[in-house]
Amino acid sequence: MNQKKREKSKTLFEEMTLSENKGPAPLAERVRPFNLDELVGLQSVVGEDTPFGAQIKTDTLKSTILWGGAGSGKTTIARIISGKTSLPFESLSAVLSSIKEVKELMESSREIWQKEKRSTILFIDEIHRYNRAQQDAFLPYLEEGSVILLGTTTENPSFHLTEALLSRCQVVVLPPLSKQAIFTILQNAIQKDKKIKEIAEKKVTDEILMTFAELSSSDARFALNSLEAFVLYYPENGSKDSNSIFKWLSKSKVVYDKSGEEHYNLISALHKSIRNSDPDASLYYLYRMLEGGEDPLYIARRLVRVAIEDVGNADPSAIRVALSAKEAVDFLGMPECDLALAQAVVYLCASPKSNTLYMAASAVKEDLRKGKRYPVPLHLRNAPTSLMDELGYGKGYIYAHDEEKGVADMECLPPELKGRKYYHPKETGYEKKIKEWLEMWEKRKKGK
């Protein structure tokens, strides 16, 4: 690799350092820890008694994918490793670099491996940005040991990284930083950074620090940079209460990814909270999604599904309420349609629940998957031609309306499934009445 390309390949961490020298870097960068002991809230991941922490301490790192939310400490851990390892360390961003540059770096690493038998740690920030074919380019180098991959991602690796790559890496999950951890990080930053320390000690209270901790949604970078903006630019005569600070900031931090794992986590939480008849949790998850920019029509569709799957015949009007919410979404749009969705959510929470339709459908589909696809009994078939009539189509059919009790003692399932019961109504809500009706019809079939 020529010198120009070599210089380009090492820009990720070096540019951070250069920005500090050329001008004032953001507070989050200025107070970034350089030792594992300085990390707050991550001891369960990098502590001495943890496998990953021991690898860092003994300089025996294995190929690793660091998975965590924004501002959770992924890049900080990578920089700590770069400062402690005795191995060559290279860094790139998947956003800024091409796979060609990555391959050039890996070939350079292979040369070092062949000459010195030393692996090179290759740090790839936001590795999920590479497609499947690009990810496969790492495999030969990881196999031979010339490259130790250190990747970071905010996305669920099982969704965005190939199985082949994951099988060669350990996945280290960084937990969301607690409010107390963020609060401690902010306190430490004030003491560590000379630029804001004097002003902050006069201007910032513990209550204000907790405000930023709550607003951050576990993003330490967001909390630190918000603190710096407050210290340097918040009006001297401005109110110091939480609501005023919220309004002053350009926007609150909403953690939500419409195409990633958080999308599925939140819709799952909404569905399951409604199923468990919990309106408070359901409204919380509903507005988490709406405030994060989720398509309200997607939510409306899921509410219709809830009405069918979890309420069912216990309250047949639930589906109408859900469909009415969908119509309101179409008619009003955001943000006015939010209350229509909220109304439907609360109604579904309060409704009696029954999953008997869902269970009946699942049982039918399971039988079909097992090959139980039998011919329709002849007496249930129409006979539009003389040949079909001669073959017995429709023979023995009994017209229920002609029967005195309005029902015929006639088997409708194929003979192989005679007596099979799929639908078992509960004594819940309106389904109790349905159960009574079905029992009545069954008795009449038997002549009782």
Q: How confident is the model at residue 189 (pLDDT cuts 50, 70, 90)?
A: very high
Q: How confident is the model at residue 254 (pLDDT cuts 50, 70, 90)?
A: low
**Average pLDDT, integer, range 401-419:** 89
Residue with more model confidence, 24 or 428: 428
* CA neighbor of 132 nearest in space, from 104, 161, 169, 170: 161
pLDDT of residue 130 exceeding 60: yes
* CA neighbor of 109 nearest in space, from 70, 137, 73, 75: 137
pLDDT of amino acid 10: 44
| C-alpha–C-alpha distance, residues 322 and 308, integer Å | 10
pLDDT of residue 17 exceeding 50: no
Residue with more model confidence, 243 or 325: 325
Contact 123, 92 (CB under 8 A): yes
**Strongest mean pLDDT among 37-41, 349-353, 408-412:** 349-353
Q: How confident is the model at residue 217 (pLDDT cuts 50, 70, 90)?
A: confident
* CA neighbor of 284 nearest in space, from 243, 328, 254: 254
Question: What are the boundaries of each domain within the chain?
Answer: 3-173, 179-248, 261-350, 376-445
| C-alpha–C-alpha distance, residues 227 and 215, integer Å | 11
pLDDT of residue 24 exceeding 80: no
| C-alpha–C-alpha distance, residues 119 and 112, integer Å | 7
Pick the CATH number of 3-173 from 3.30.365.10, 1.10.1040.10, 3.40.50.300, 1.10.150.20: 3.40.50.300
Mean model confidence pLDDT for the chain? 87
The shares of helix, strand and coil residues in the chain, as percent rounded to the nearest 5, are 60, 5, 35
Pick the CATH number of 376-445 from 3.10.20, 2.40.50, 1.20.120, 1.10.3710: 1.10.3710
**Average pLDDT, integer, range 169-191:** 93
CATH classification of 261-350 is 1.20.272.10, yes or no?
yes
Contact 410, 398 (CB under 8 A): yes
